[in-house]
Amino acid sequence: MSSLIEVRGLRKSFGSLDVLKGIDLTVEKGERIAIIGSSGCGKSVFLRSLCLLEKPEAGQVFIDGQEITAKGADVDRIRRGMGMVFQKFHLFSEMNVMDNLCLAPVRLKGMKREDAEKKAMELLGQVGLASRAHAWPTVLSGGQQQRIAICRCLMMEPKVLLFDEPTSALDPTMVGEVLAVIRMLAKRDMSMLIVTHEMNFAREVASRVLFFADGIIYEQGTPAEIFDSPKREKTVAFIHKIKYFGYEIHQRDFDLMQVQGGLQNFGEKYGLDRIHTHRLQICCEELIFELINNCYPGQENVEIKLTVAYTESDGTTEITLDCGGKEYNPFDQQDDGLSVTILKKMANQIEYLQQDARNHIRIVL
């Protein structure tokens, strides 16, 4: 028995930009797959490639055992097994709601208009819009239009629904009503692929989560695995919304003002308050000079890598320094100097590790 969707080596480029670099995926009937990732990572392009709204350069896509990417394939017929819900609704403005819903099943499936209207009223009732059957799309709210767009897909009785960020164009007050409809479909075991930025919704509804990065499915797993225990670095950063600042120092006489200015800009960009940013600058400055003076005594050439990671989810800032030279733990000396005293007072957590002839320091503010 074939899978509902099978994707093999899917590739898509725009000019010199490789967006999809060889996607392999199998989707079984009844699965609810949430696709997450940063803007521009290829989520929407992948979804559009499944139904050939974007034509891939390489790879194969099978829908219920039929290859839609095959030469000479009846794309329109195979595509009818998929319902696509877009960001911007795409209802026909010159038709009322009922006509929008009945057009495709009557023209493409040969359904009688009377039967189509009956089915349309049933679906509208399920999404709470039976009273709007003869309204024009222009008088409906964005949330109502998106619910109508979902009903329009369901009129064709698709095997799978593809949602391309279905709430991204909505006012926040309307998001809930659309997500409620998708939850209803999930409870009915409707097969779905959902590109979304609503993390809580993905956790609640999905049976599997795909994290896209670097043009591939970078990591996948159950919602618990992806949201609670992500394994790979970029997944962790995305889930916890970690922002980074980095700086490498190669000379004793480095540009301290450039480091401090970079940290100031970092704090302003990500909303750190003035006190937090100032503490961050002091800690970085004191640590850098402590390592230069003790790991590279009398040397002009140094090798220190500074990384600052700010986690939006809990408001913590992590400073890490990777330093060569002599082994030196500034927090394990008989007499704490002023720099170390300042650092210990400001930090919530301090760690030191000497590994592979390098000093590793981690401080959490």
> DSSP string covering 69-138, please?
TSTT--HHHHHTTEEEE-TT----TTS-HHHHHHHHHHHHH---HHHHHHHHHHHHHHTT-GGGTT--GG
The CATH number linked to 260 is: 3.30.565.10
Confidence at residue 336, expressed as pLDDT on a 0 to 100 scale: 66
Same domain, 28 and 97: yes
Same domain, 10 and 152: yes
List, for residues 252-287, the tens digit of each pLDDT value.
999 999 999 999 999 999 888 999 999 899 989 989
Q: What are phi and psi of 275, to 5 degrees?
A: -65, -45
Confidence at residue 44, expressed as pLDDT on a 0 to 100 scale: 94
Confidence at residue 311, expressed as pLDDT on a 0 to 100 scale: 87
Domain containing residue 40: 5-239
Q: What are phi and psi of 29, to 5 degrees?
A: -60, 135
Confidence at residue 356, expressed as pLDDT on a 0 to 100 scale: 86
Give the Cα separation of 203 and 230 in Å (integer).
13
Ranges under pLDDT 70 in the chain: 1, 336, 338
Helix, strand, or coil (residue 228): helix
Confidence at residue 347, expressed as pLDDT on a 0 to 100 scale: 77
List, for residues 221-231, the tens digit of each pLDDT value.
999 999 999 99
Same domain, 149 and 233: yes
pTM: 0.75
For residue 351, give the amino acid letter. Answer: E
Residue at a domain's end among 193, 220, 239: 239
For residue 349, give the amino acid letter. Answer: Q
Confidence at residue 70, expressed as pLDDT on a 0 to 100 scale: 94
Same domain, 122 and 150: yes
The CATH number linked to 101 is: 3.40.50.300
- Which residue is it, tokens 């964005």? 142
Same domain, 10 and 92: yes
Number of domains in the chain: 2
Confidence at residue 268, expressed as pLDDT on a 0 to 100 scale: 92
Same domain, 246 and 231: no
Same domain, 298 and 353: yes
Same domain, 176 and 298: no
Give the Cα separation of 68 and 66 in Å (integer).
6
Confidence at residue 1, expressed as pLDDT on a 0 to 100 scale: 57
Residue at a domain's end among 239, 261, 286: 239
Residue at a domain's end among 198, 213, 239: 239
Q: What DSSP state is assigned to residue 140? A: S
Name 17's bridge partners.
14
Same domain, 186 and 72: yes
Give the Cα separation of 150 and 339 in Å (integer).
61
Same domain, 75 and 50: yes
Same domain, 191 and 337: no
Same domain, 178 and 257: no
